[in-house]
Amino acid sequence: MIKEIVILIVWVDRTEPTIGGLQKRISEISFAVARAGYKVVIVTLEGSHSSENPFVEKVDSLETGYQVIASLVDKSPNCVIYVGRLISPETEHVRQLALLAKLGATILVRAQSTRAAEILSLPRCSRLLAPCVTSIHALNQESAKLLRMAYAETQVKLIPNPFPRNLFVGGWPRDSYAMFAGRIVPSKNLHSLIYAWRLLSCSKTQLRIYGISDDVSYYEYCKKLTKDCESIKWYHPYKPNNFTPLSRARFLVVPSLREGHSNLVSEAMSVGTFILGSRVSGIAEHINNGRGMCVEPSSGDIFKGLRAVSVMQDDELMRCASAAKSYADQHTTDLQLLDLLRQLRT
């Protein structure tokens, strides 16, 4: 019988533990797994995860982290190690997982983005991982396709993030602002949104940017782009579980170049807010089919999308947002992940 789930987070370039989707998702998984009757330990580096999570055990280095995990495996050799994020395809990290598998642990790896799936599919990584990994979790269809070219079909599981439940749904009409929220880093493509917004003649609508950055140069670049543009306003990130800004926005813009499964998209769909999003895996499959609007993540295409949304009537926005809300309500649990863990127990 499996007595322990170890969730390993390797996240060395973060100083703000609560703003990343990865940390939030791992916390959600830890509580879901604990409610299912498992013992949970999260082994993570200092400064990379919230101290409020009761399952967190912080270490000062990767070497120490692997020692702690090896000790846990030694005490409970049938445990499952759930790797929230591999730091890199460096062979030393993969070898550590192989050694833990030899000690009796079952290894599950989460590909948290399409980029992560690309890294996990590299020959120097897959050659070592494939023999010791029981399952690799893809969050979107593109990631699953990549992984199936490097691993056995039975090893790759498509397990999207569940949508949040019981969130406050904003009424209509909404306030007259559009919204961007998230980390201010190049992959979120905020600069293209700013370029597009500046082309849009929409004095009655405001673009509100809620975000923080660990990339100072990119943050300053984006701030400079908004200089002298009165319709763009910057805000601090809204607090976790405070969905008022999102539920009052007329629409949300998610111009990312890549995503695994955007938490922000999930939250917006759950509160009934219309989404203008990039046509990339992790976004498009959720807001297609009348649940939002997809555009290519270039400033020109984003501009066309903004222009189209700006002339949509409330009832049209509300109809799409309601369809998105219904979709979200049908995907609110972690049943796929928990079913996999139950199978491993037997």
pLDDT in tens, 35-72: 888 888 888 777 655 557 788 888 887 788 888 888 88
Do the domains 177-329 and 4-162+333-345 match in fold?
Answer: yes
pLDDT band at 177 (very low <50, low <70, confident <90, very high): very high
pLDDT at 335 over 60: yes
Q: Which residue has the higher pLDDT, 239 or 47?
A: 239
Region 249-263: mean pLDDT is 89
Considering the chain, what percentage of its residues have pLDDT values greater than 90? 32
**Which residue, chain included where needed, has tokens 């007329």?**
250
CA atoms of 155 and 239, how far apart (whole Å) = 37
CATH architecture designation of domain 177-329 = 3-Layer(aba) Sandwich (3.40)
Specify the pLDDT at position 12: 42
pTM for this model (two decimals): 0.74
Q: Identify the top-confidence range among 82-96, 108-122, 243-257.
A: 243-257
Angle between helices 91-102 and 62-75 (to 10 degrees): 10
* Per CATH, domain 4-162+333-345 is 3.40.50.2000: yes
Region 7-20: mean pLDDT is 49
Q: Give the N- to C-terminal CA distance of the chain in Å, as an integer.
A: 7
Region 95-118: mean pLDDT is 85
pLDDT in tens, 280-326: 988 988 898 899 999 999 999 999 999 999 999 999 999 999 999 88
Q: Which residue has the higher pLDDT, 194 or 260?
A: 194
* Strand ranges across the sheet with 206-212: 232-235, 206-212, 177-183, 251-254, 274-278, 293-295
Domain boundaries, the chain: 4-162+333-345, 177-329
